[in-house]
Amino acid sequence: MNREGRPTRPEPAEAGSRTTFTGARGLDIEEALIFETGRLDATGVDIEEAAPFASRLGALASDAAPELPGLTEPEAVRHYVRLSRDNYSIDAGLYPLGSCTMKHNPRLNEKMARLPGFADVHPLQPTSTAQGALAVIEALADALLVMTGMSAIAMSPKAGAHGELCGMMAIKAAIAARGEGATRHVALVPESAHGTNPATAALIGFSVRSVPAGDDGNVSVEAVRAALAPDVAAIMLTNPNTAGLFERQIVGIAEAVREAGAYFYCDGANFNAIVGKTRPGDLGVDAMHINLHKTFSTPHGGGGPGAGPVALSSRLAPFAPVPFVRREGDALRLVEHAEGTESFGRMSAFHGQMGMFVRALSFILSHGADGLRQASEDAVLSANYVRASLNDLMSAPFGERICMHEALFDDRWLKDTGLSTLDFAKAMIDEGYHPMTVYFPLIVHGAMLIEPTESESKASLDRFIMTLRDLAFAAKAGERERFTAAPVYAPRRRLDETRAARQPVLRWTRPPAA
């Protein structure tokens, strides 16, 4: 559990900024909620009235429309366009969120996902009429197998955390099949792990045993051996890890885990750093989810949808969930039932995130083997370029070590400034940048995790670096106001998160009539 909080209530700002009649600030227009502007008798969809007929709804028919406001099309377009303008986006600027991989989203992929032969196909159509959709699943799975060097791919998980759940369920099933279900119920999880790892382990009834990382930011074979015991079912290790470092002893760890009769779950959130450079299957991984929205750039969409196919080793492949696609001669068939197989069951209705599969396949076809490798190299090159360009001003927890696709700094260098990582992040907003990931991983105090991705030009990287250098100099020069008051040029100043949590207002309610 994270026991370290941070300030969540801003100091009230000085009065004095000029206010406008509308509350707008030029192009930054204050937009009311649809419940305040929409009318309960309005609609923006023209629907022909049905000809008279005898209802067959029965006694459960409702007698009134839900109390939801309606907007005509011009009103709706304006409302959502105005809201959209309050968002930062990768299309508008460098978005250096470490661990999140905000790379460019090619628009070809959007166009392809909207082809009627993909977007307008029902998941339960006779499979004879959905061969193209099944072909996409097969083609993407084949490409992922080549990249991972593993034995099988479970395509249905809906996001990274769902993929983790899938992989861990397969491990649990494999252990049960060995007759060790009652005795092996511990997951080894490094303290640096994503929160989803321990949450997933707990969800399937495993308890969590912590493994420390060494001073170099890596987990050592010795530390793993010390934690391994007959009750251990699996290790959950992220590679490259959440500090942006390749786990140097991963092969030895995999061997130790296997010798101990346990399985190696690899959190594949950072697979984008190593595609085309090394294969998880060769490193000894038994299960790894792949965030299609990170590595293969399906859009993040303000928080999803994601997609989290899971690659499985031959030891776990028999336990993969249904459904899966099977080729029989020229035809593709869906296996939809677990009965009579060793499959552990079903993760979700239907067959996974087809819309994301098309986008990811389009990304893979576009890049090809050469482009995929180049993308990994450029991502790692860019992260190291940022790291090397800031190292003299900011402090890195693991020294001068070469990183993979993201550069990690801590807050030791801010120590005498009286400023926090949060202040630094908020000042970046005023400079027109989305902040990096802050306060993660938890093992690094005041962590700042920067992932530039392969999508940035050198000019863009240089501008970003110069901005951070300028901010770092300002912090050290005691220009506190520039940080503690920030942001001042964003659509909003810092928010009172304490109030949001103490007096939760989670929906709009009609104000009492005056």
Partner 1 sequence: MAELRYTKDHEYVRIEGGEGVVGISDHAQRQLGDVVFAENPRVGTMLKAGDPAAVVESVKAASDVFAPVAGEVVAVNSEVEAKPGLINEDALGTGWLFRIRLADPSEAAALMDEAAYAAFLETQA
Partner 2 sequence: MRYLPLDGAEREAMLARIGVPDVDALFADVPADKRIEGLLDLPLAKSEMAVERILSAMAAQSLAAGSAPFFLGAGAYKRHIPASVDHLIQRSEFLTSYTPYQPEIAQGTLKVLFEFQTQVATLTGMEVANASMYDGSTACGEAMLMAHRLTRRGKAVLSGGLHPQYADVAATLAHCSGDRIERLAPDPLAREDLAAAIDGETSCVIVQSPDFFGNPRDLAAVAAAAHARGALLIAVFTDPVSLGALRSPGAMDADIVVGEGQGIGNALSFGGPYLGLFATRLKFVRQMPGRLAGETVDADGRRSFVLTLSTREQHIRREKATSNICTNSGLCALAFSIHLALLGGVGLRRLARVNHAGAVQLAERLSAVPGVEILNAHFFNEFTLRTPRPGAEVIEALARRGVIGGLPVSRLLPAAGLDDCIVVASTEVNSDDDRAAYASALADLLR
Residues 471-500 contacting partner 1, CB under 8 A: 497-498, 500
Burial 58-74 (b: 16+ CB within 10 A, else e): eeeeeeeeeeebbbeee
Indicate the Cα dihedral angle 458, 461, 463, 468, nearest 10°: -160
Q: Is 501 in the site for partner 2 (CB under 8 A)?
A: yes
Q: How far is the CB of 217 from partner 2 (least distance, A)?
A: 11
Q: Restricting to residues 411-450, which ones interact with partner 1 according to CB under 8 A?
A: 439
And the tokens for 70? Answer: 């309606």
Q: Which of 225, 258, 412, 493 binds partner 2 (CB under 8 A)?
A: 493
198 contacts 346 by C-beta, under 8 angstroms: no
Per DSSP, the three-state class of 411 is: coil
**How far apart, in whole angstroms, are the C-alpha atoms of residue 214 and residue 226?**
13
| Shorter beta-carbon distance to partner 2: residue 374 or 395 | 374
Check residue 111 and report its DSSP letter.
H
Which entry of partner 1, partner 2, none binds 6, CB below 5 to 8 A by partner kind? partner 1
Q: How far is the CB of 64 from partner 2 (least distance, A)?
A: 8
Binding mask 402-431 for partner 2 (x = CB under 8 A): x-x--------------------xx--x--
Q: Is 125 in the site for partner 2 (CB under 8 A)?
A: yes
How many residues sit close enough to partner 2 to count as binding (CB under 8 A)? 215
167 contacts 237 by C-beta, under 8 angstroms: no
And the tokens for 490? Answer: 């964003």
Q: Which one of 2-10, 181-189, 341-349, 394-402 is the stretch in contact with partner 1 (CB under 8 A)? A: 2-10
Q: Is 341 in the site for partner 1 (CB under 8 A)?
A: no
Q: Which of 295, 313, 353, 420 binds partner 2 (CB under 8 A)?
A: 353
Q: Which one of 3-11, 93-101, 199-207, 222-230 is the stretch in contact with partner 1 (CB under 8 A)? A: 3-11
- Residue 449 bridge partners (DSSP): 408, 437
Which entry of partner 1, partner 2, none binds 133, CB below 5 to 8 A by partner kind? partner 2
Q: How far is the CB of 505 from partner 2 (least distance, A)?
A: 4
Q: Restricting to residues 143-202, which ones interact with partner 2 according to CB under 8 A?
A: 143, 146-147, 158-162, 164-165, 169, 172, 194-196, 198-202
Spatial CA neighbour of 135 closest among 385, 293, 462, 354: 354
Binding mask 15-54 for partner 2 (x = CB under 8 A): --x-----x------xx-xxx--xxxxxxxx-xxxxx-xx
What are the angstrom distances between the C-alpha of 318 and each of 128, 153, 205, 207, 388? Answer: 26, 11, 21, 25, 46
Kind plus residue range of the DSSP H or E element containing 437: strand 437-438
167 contacts 181 by C-beta, under 8 angstroms: no
Q: Which of 79, 333, 412, 480 binds partner 2 (CB under 8 A)?
A: 79
Q: Which one of 91-99, 225-233, 412-420, 471-479 is the stretch in contact with partner 2 (CB under 8 A)? A: 91-99
How many residues sit close enough to partner 1 to count as binding (CB under 8 A)? 15
Which entry of partner 1, partner 2, none binds 181, CB below 5 to 8 A by partner kind? none
Which entry of partner 1, partner 2, none binds 4, CB below 5 to 8 A by partner kind? partner 1
320 contacts 341 by C-beta, under 8 angstroms: no
Q: How far is the CB of 367 from partner 2 (least distance, A)?
A: 6
And the tokens for 494? Answer: 């810092």
Q: Is 319 in the site for partner 2 (CB under 8 A)?
A: no
**How far apart, in whole angstroms, are the C-alpha atoms of residue 171 and residue 165?**
10
Judged on CB neighbours under 10 Å (0-12, 13-18, 19+), 337 is exposed
Q: Is 367 in the site for partner 2 (CB under 8 A)?
A: yes
- By DSSP bridging, strand 152-154 and strand 310-312 are antiparallel
**How far apart, in whole angstroms, are the C-alpha atoms of residue 197 and residue 302?**
22
